[in-house]
């Protein structure tokens, strides 16, 4: 019998096809590798409606594969009020994401809305949207997401 997840994390960016998908994939795969995936509900979402129903940007999956990770099969969705009931940790990647997340956050929500870069360099690193840039921007985004996700895991799953 499967154990119900008792911890939860949602990664949120503008379109849910680059940064949030990468972080979701990294967290999920690291959780599987380290043996705590069943303890976590893991997902990602968008603040906008631009990409709803779309698969990840092809460059996102190319980057994941290049870095030895599985392709994401996530389908873009928009953040909902229910997410603030379902997720303890909700991460945005830049100040615009954080503002948009907080704009829809219910007043009674106990979710922690955090900048992903809280776990990056200097505690306030911005993970730029690579969408309008070349593959090098996707490599940079991946490196930032990987570093931040690993630091977050180290805090919430010490010893794993």
Report the candidate in 102, 96, 99, 64 with the shortest Cα–Cα distance to residue 84: 102
Residue with structure tokens 């900048």?
A: 115
Catalytic residue among 28, 59, 129, 148: 129
Query: Is 52 within 8 Å of 46 (Cβ atoms)?
Result: yes
Catalytic: 145? no
Nearest CA among 96, 47, 46, 102 for reference residue 74: 46
| Tokens standing for residue 127 | 């993970």
Active site residue 57: no
Could you tell me if 129 and 19 are in contact, meaning their C-beta atoms sit under 8 angstroms apart?
yes
Active site residue 13: yes
| Rounded Cα–Cα distance for residues 18 and 128 (Å) | 10
Name residue 12's beta-bridge partners. 45, 92
Residues identified as active-site = 13, 19, 129
């Amino acid at each position: 019998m499967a154990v119900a997840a008792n911890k939860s994390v949602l990664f949120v960016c503008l379109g849910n096809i680059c940064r949030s998908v990468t972080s979701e994939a990294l967290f999920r795969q690291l959780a599987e590798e380290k043996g705590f995936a069943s303890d976590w509900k893991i997902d990602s979402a968008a603040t906008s409606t631009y990409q709803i129903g779309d698969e990840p940007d092809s460059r996102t999956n190319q980057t994941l594969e290049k870095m030895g990770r599985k392709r994401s099969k996530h389908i873009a969705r928009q953040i909902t009020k229910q997410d603030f009931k379902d997720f303890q940790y909700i991460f945005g990647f830049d100040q615009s994401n954080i503002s948009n997340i907080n704009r829809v956050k219910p007043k009674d929500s106990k979710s922690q809305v955090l900048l992903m870069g809280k776990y990056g360099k200097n505690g306030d690193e911005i993970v730029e949207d690579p969408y309008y840039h070349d593959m090098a921007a996707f490599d940079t985004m991946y490196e930032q997401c990987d570093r931040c996700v690993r630091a977050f895991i180290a805090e919430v799953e010490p010893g794993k």
